[in-house]
Amino acid sequence: MTMANKVAVIGSGSWGTGVTRLLSPHVREVVVWSHEPEVARGINENRRNPHQLRDYEIEPNVCATTDLAAAVCDADAIVLAVPSPYLRATCKGLVGYVGDELPILVLTKGVEHGTGCLMADVVEQELGGAGRIAVLSGPNHAEEISQGTISAAVIASTSVPLAEYFRDLLVCPVFRVYVSEDVRGIEICGAEKNVIAIACGIAAASGAGDNTLAVLMTRGLAEISRVAVALGADPITCMGLAGMGDLVATCTSRHSRNRSFGEAFARGESLEEYERRTGMVVEGAQATTSILELALEKDIEVPITLAVNAVLFEGIPVSQAIDVLLGRRSIEEFYGVIPSHVSEQSQRRDA
């Protein structure tokens, strides 16, 4: 059933391309904006993105343009799918072309360097209207979305009707969508899981076994939960699709650029070399420094993020970072996640 006449997808990377498969059954026209003319030509002339998801034949009702104003003109909704370093500049470019009430769905994941802003905050600051902004996260590799494999996601907004609107624009028999009001929780999960995935990639390429990777993912989930709780999010969000679901997918999948970058880095390839070779932005690399800045400001313990930052940007050997992590004193498993009075009650029962 057609629900909208036109939806603009801003960004032609793998997610921007993949999400068109979900939108196209519900929308008369999906317009993808790309800053690369060859990508727009490839979509319009060959039904292929020449840079990402090359094997995916794009649906007939999807077209592309390099004209940002034309992309959003008369759109019923906008989907933002640009890399996090470019989100603010892209939103600035949309000012004057986007109405005050136009629904916006943010697929971008990350924490802005220097400001500590989450992606929905960036969009609100530049385009206004928190109530018309929703975010999506979950275990959704674009490669598998484009192939029609079974997937699921959660959409969060302070406006439940808005989240439900975007749910209905995306849901299909092989893509389940759930609704939440915990915008901050969803965003923190989506940003920090990329950092943990880099750690898993480095560990795997350094010879770590399954036990080690399971420890990294589990303690990584605890780290994500501490940040989420400190920012006022619901810790249960971290147990769901945007938290544990996306964490497992990102830390284990061959499609994960963050996991594969960690592996490449451990083998001697730099961040710049990896991004140049793959043509993709490693979101977790920037998120590492941004989350660390946020954690230091709010006095949140993030030992895995600290270790990844030291290895990537301070030249610390992987072996030294591992020694630092293993040298930490073991304390209560869920510290910083469970309220202190609940933890004290639990300890008294166990005594």
Q: Which residues are catalytic?
A: 193
Measure the CA–CA gap between 177 and 269, rounded to whole angstroms. Answer: 37
Q: Which two tokens stand for residue 93?
A: 């470019």
Q: How many C-alpha atoms does 27 have within 13 Å on its Cβ side?
A: 30
Residue 48 · residue 58 · CB < 8 Å:
yes
Residue 90 · residue 69 · CB < 8 Å:
no
Residue 186 · residue 242 · CB < 8 Å:
yes
Q: How many C-alpha atoms does 346 have within 13 Å on its Cβ side?
A: 10
Q: Choose among 131, 101, 103: nearest CA to 27.
A: 103
Q: Which two tokens stand for residue 208?
A: 């770590």
Q: Which two tokens stand for residue 177?
A: 């969508």
**3-state SS, residue 137:** strand
Q: Which two tokens stand for residue 186?
A: 């969803």
Measure the CA–CA gap between 173 and 149, rounded to whole angstroms. Answer: 10
Residue 17 · residue 53 · CB < 8 Å:
yes
- Return left, alpha or beta for 142; rule: phi > 0 is left, psi -120 to 50 is alpha, else beta: alpha
Measure the CA–CA gap between 48 and 304, rounded to whole angstroms. Answer: 39
